[in-house]
Amino acid sequence: MAVLNKIRQRGLFLIIVIALALFSFVIGDLFRNTDALVGKSQNIVATINGKDITREDFMQKVEVAQRQLGPNGTSTQAMNRVWDQEVRQAVLETQFEELGLDVQKDQMRDLLRTNLANSPEFQNEVGLFDENKLNEYIANLKETSAVAYKQWVDYENSIGVSALQQDYFNMVKAGMTGTLAEGKLEHTLQSETVDIKYVQVPYTSISDSTVPVSKSEISSYIKKHKKQYEVEASRDIRYVEFREVATAEDENNIKQDLSDLLKDQVVYNEVSKTNDTVKGFAQVTNNKAFVNSNSDIKFEDRFVFKSGLPTAVADTIFKLNTGQVYGPYKDQNYIKLTKVVAAVQMPDSVKARHILIPFVGAASAQPDVTQSEADAKKTADSLLTILKKDKSRFGEFVTTYSSDQGSVENGGSYDYFPYNAMVEEFRDFAFENNVGDMDVVQTAFGFHIIEIEGQTAKQRAIKVATIAREIEPSETTINQVFRDASNFEIAIEKGDFETVAKEKELTVRPINGIKLLDENIPGLGNQRPIVRWAFEEGTKVGAAKRFNLNGGYAIVQVTASNPEGLMNSEQASVTALPAIRKEKKAKLIMDRISATTVEDVASGENQTVKTALAINMKNPTISGAGKEGVVVGTAFGLNEGETSKLIEGEKGVYMIQVTKRTPAPEMDNYQGFANQIGSAKTAKVNTKLYDALKEASEIEDNRANTVQ
């Protein structure tokens, strides 16, 4: 009771303590989750011009895109496709809102009428679009399926957005005109010309090795050209690959297994409790069963010509007699045994005509087919009896009875077709019988009345039974690859990655500039887990990890973590080094030249004086030198007979003299050129407008935090 009295006396104090504890808990959680402090949820994939794109909505669209891409499309490809669509829509919607553009009800009805005009379900009896049927359709969706109705709303939104985009682009295009002043300038650029003589001192006249470039010079160049060298955050990695590949010993073991199949084998029979002798491949008569029991590729019951055999062994196999076996031999990724089981003389192509009588349940049978299999057989037999007495009625019966629409117009005939063009039963009859033969043959499609109309010259064909074993690594090899990968992984914990790989004669593959949302690793294919790991907060430079591949392992090490911003000197040197070297060479050349005439410069630099005629500013190209905008621009700033100072060009240092100026002829009207300018501007709207709007937009990309 005394304790309770003390608690009551200090109630206010306890309330304050509890409140402080709760406040501390909340603040601590906020600091642990910085997104909460800035008001950004991990459920937000992006914010574009103030508009949030939620993770749930984004991923639903990614799933749809994934299905559209099919089995060969990756999740990252689907995500990037949706991302581009969402960004485009959000960027353009900002413009629509600022301009007050939207799709009204009447316009939407017009759009639907245009898009659905050819849909039979929305047409009346005379084939015209019926808005009442559309209204009934939408009302039915709304009542029966919330999912289907949402899909319809999404469809309406999509065609509405497309219409708004078209209207917006057309409005911009309407303002893309060329003025008469622009037309006159265009005429001048095309028609005003100068003739020059010039000397070029090429930069290649100075060896690169004599022009050193320091890292500090590269750094300064990068800072002066920031836009050119801005990069996203990236990682550099290197990896060693351990592939589970069959060894020569594995191949030899497969060959031995196949060789053993040639011999008779004694096996213990659990039923009779006696030893039975199982005939080997060379002696067996049921080749199909033997092949299917022992091969990775099932028996193919067909004849082949020499051209249908593996090229490397075609001559040898084709010369075998029936019953002889060749092998084991290697064919692509298989070890094979091949036995000739039959030989015939056969045409390589046949012309035949047929009448197809389908039955209920036959492949491709149409809904109006009512005959049973037995009835269809009776019909076919009856027609055959008539045709054997009077073949002239074949075309008539094709038109009346045949369901094969692909041949009805040709009187049921298929012109010369190769051996494997038809289904097995049709093929066998056409190729294994003679011209003029006619009979009923059943296939999955129904009963065919087939007549052989023609055959090419017959030649030898053989039927083979082939036992094929895929060349795969053995369990021993797979275990050894695992041990090799494990040993390497252990060794690099203490030693240098490159050094250990060299000691073990392994190839190290460096990959630089991997971006946060990349998925492809050159040499390894789609390896999104590697990219995610490389960018994880806990993955430091020097960290290494093993990743499972399809048929092996890769041990990967992060070699550099490149922050967002400007490239480092090493990365930028690929383009910065040649540019700096060119600047330094230009200065060296210009510092050593004191001559003031083209001829003297050419003489002093051991170069020749060249001429270039009818140069214009529209296409600033100098014959013998290529595109040199600065040099051509300088030429048009000189008077006839005037000589320039030294000019730093793209390919060298120049001095020029204008020998002739031909001004553009005056015209009464420049409207034609103004129209050219207007057309060129309009053509650029489709390619340039969206890019410009996107560049000016505020886009916060959080995909890396929300999408795995």
Q: Do domains 193-229+571-662 and 349-455 have the same CATH topology?
A: yes
**Nearest in space to 168 (alpha carbons), one of 235, 51, 89:** 89
**Where are the chain's structural domains?**
2-38, 44-160, 193-229+571-662, 234-245+474-563, 248-345, 349-455
Cβ 303 vs Cβ 427: under 8 Å:
no
Cβ 513 vs Cβ 236: under 8 Å:
yes
**What is the chain's alpha carbon radius of gyration, rounded to the nearest angstrom?**
40
Calculate the alpha carbon distances from 681 to 171, 417, 658 in Å: 13, 56, 33
Q: Which residue has the tokens 């799709």?
A: 103
Task: Render pLDDT for 325-383 as a digit per residue (tens, 0 to 9).
Answer: 999 999 999 999 999 999 999 999 999 999 999 999 999 888 889 999 999 999 999 99
What local confidence, expressed as pLDDT, does residue 12 receive? 44
685's tokens: 């709207």
Amino acid at 591: D
Q: Which residue has the tokens 């991990």?
A: 42
Return d(Cα 520, Cα 127) in angstroms, integer.
Answer: 51
What local confidence, expressed as pLDDT, does residue 648 receive? 97
DSSP summary character for residue 221: H
- CA dihedral defined by 514, 517, 522, 523, rounded to 10 degrees? 120
Q: Which residues pair with 561 in a beta bridge?
A: 235
What local confidence, expressed as pLDDT, does residue 77 receive? 85
Name the phi and psi angles at 508, rounded to 5: -95, 125
Cβ burial, residue 475 (10 Å; 0-12/13-18/19+): exposed
Calculate the alpha carbon distances from 633 to 575, 621, 622, 643 in Å: 25, 11, 11, 14
Return d(Cα 704, Cα 36) in angstroms, integer.
Answer: 17
Give the three-state DSSP class for 563.
coil
The three-point CA angle 674-678-683 to 5° equals 150
What local confidence, expressed as pLDDT, does residue 269 receive? 74
Whole-prediction pTM: 0.64
- What topology does CATH give the domain 193-229+571-662? Chitinase A; domain 3 (3.10.50)
348's tokens: 């390589």
SS (HEC) of 603-660 = HHCCCCCEEEEEECCCCCEECCCEECHHHHHHHCCCCCCCECCCEECCCEEEEEEEEE
Return d(Cα 518, Cα 531) in angstroms, integer.
Answer: 7
Q: CATH number of the domain at 349-455, out of 1.10.150.530, 2.30.40.10, 3.10.50.40, 3.30.360.10?
A: 3.10.50.40
Return d(Cα 325, Cα 329) in angstroms, integer.
Answer: 11
**pLDDT < 50 stretches in the chain:** 1-39
